[in-house]
Amino acid sequence: MTLWNSLPLRMIRKKLRMAAVFVCLLLALTVMYHQLPVSADVTRLLTGRSANAAAAEGESGGLQEELRKMEYKIKTLEQGKKIYPEVKFLTYRDRKRILVTGGAGFVGSHLVDRLMMQGHEVTVVDNFFTGRKRNVEHWVGHENFELLHHDIVNPLYIEVDQIYHLASPASPPNYMYNPIKTLKTNTLGTINMLGLAKRVRARLLLASTSEVYGDPEIHPQNEDYWGHVNPIGPRACYDEGKRVAETMCYAYEKQENVEVRVARIFNTFGPRMHMNDGRVVSNFILQALQNESITVYGEGEQTRSFQYVSDLVDGLLALMNSNYSQPVNLGNPDEHSIMEFARIIRSLVGGASEIIKNPAKEDDPRRRKPDIARAQKYLNWSPQVKS
Ligand SMILES: NC(=O)c1ccc[n+]([C@@H]2O[C@H](COP(=O)([O-])OP(=O)(O)OC[C@H]3O[C@@H](n4cnc5c(N)ncnc54)[C@H](O)[C@@H]3O)[C@@H](O)[C@H]2O)c1
């Protein structure tokens, strides 16, 4: 038994309260150091709440989040048991057994939250390459939740009704770190998940990507476009990995009657993104907060469009539960140049960061904007949060 376990409850409570006060002080100092008036806007950028709402509450998102976590821990301790967010009760008939691969990652954990709140039984499978246990720790121990430390490159035998297949590194530094592993995850891993879907007659949704369009020659990109990908470039392990994963889905659909859904996801942002995993939004915010130079590649004229993670989760659920089996773009068509994004983030953060241009990256797509007509028509879906 550790010293901590042997302390009486009263002492632990006192210690936690002291820790809470200390964290609050630390955060308050950090926020003041980084200029409080602008942090509300950064909060909006990361949480989707309006700047006014954040400002009216008078606290930064980070501070609130920490306070919420601390309150939750104190409450849990006081009650002597873990308190879970309230989930809907579903009857046996409506309750599904749902597997989320990569469920401890950024998008996966938000999807898990929604499925749990809806009252389903959720199993998360993750090898924690880029995902974190803390993204789903609030569900650990819940009767409807299970977390398996497993690498999908190896077969998995469980009973499920639906599979959301999200496991794959998603940001360029992560997928380029070990290109062979990225290829294995997207090929062998996808074959394993399709094999499981076939065995248990589950429906599988693949989290594909706008990267299947490569450096596109048409604009905006619709689902009928076959793409323009360099098969031997530095991004190929991811782009081609996802392309072959799509091919596998439709081969299993045709040959084995597996029900498949394919979401082509465009850039997404929101809470639980890794601050330093090399994605544009997190990079720029971090550089601006630290008053470092904001780095754009090339002239910064390449365009991107960013959707908020709650919109993506709505789209994934709508697609999984629809009758539509062809690929569907899920993204926000509001397009900006990277240079514009750098300026917007700098002005929201309020620092004096200089924007500097680095040499262009190999195979960096020049333009990226989803045509979402298909999602609007078949899923009645369009993004609700303005980017
Ligand atoms: N976030 C975006 O902007 C975006 C855009 C397009 C597509 N996607 C796709 O959405 C999915 C989720 O992306 P994300 O942004 O949440 O990324 P993420 O890196 O946060 O999450 C991916 C998760 O998969 C897990 N994983 C990776 N390899 C695995 C393996 N072999 N076995 C088991 N688990 C493994 C990681 O540990 C992590 O938890 C990915 O498939 C990605 O390609 C995301």
* Spans of all domains in the chain: 3-79, 97-272+308-333+374-379
Within 6 A (CB) of ligand 1 lie: 101-102, 104-108, 125-131, 151-153, 166-170, 185, 189, 207, 209, 265, 267-268
Predicted confidence at residue 40, as pLDDT, reads: 38
| Residue 283, token pair as written in the block | 């990079």
382 C-alpha to ligand 1 centroid (Å): 22
Report the CATH architecture of 97-272+308-333+374-379: 3-Layer(aba) Sandwich (3.40)
Dihedral (CA of 43, 45, 47, 48) sign:
positive
Nearest ligand 1 atom to alpha carbon 135: 39
Query: Ligand 1 atom 9: the closest Cα is on which residue?
Result: 207
212 C-alpha to ligand 1 centroid (Å): 15
Predicted confidence at residue 19, as pLDDT, reads: 52
Nearest ligand 1 atom to alpha carbon 109: 16
Query: Ligand 1 atom 21: the closest Cα is on which residue?
Result: 105
Nearest ligand 1 atom to alpha carbon 274: 20
**Which one of the listed residues 164, 175, 213, 238 is annotated catalytic?**
238
What is the pLDDT tens value at each position of the chain, 387 positions in all? 343 444 455 555 555 555 554 444 344 334 333 433 333 333 344 444 443 344 344 445 567 777 877 787 777 777 777 889 999 999 999 999 999 999 999 999 999 999 999 999 999 999 999 999 999 999 999 999 999 999 999 999 999 999 999 999 999 999 999 999 999 999 999 999 999 999 999 999 999 999 999 999 999 999 999 999 999 999 999 999 999 999 999 999 999 999 999 999 999 999 998 877 777 888 888 889 888 999 999 988 888 889 999 999 999 999 999 999 999 999 999 988 999 989 988 998 887 889 999 888 887 888 889 999 999 999 999 999 986
238 in catalytic set = yes
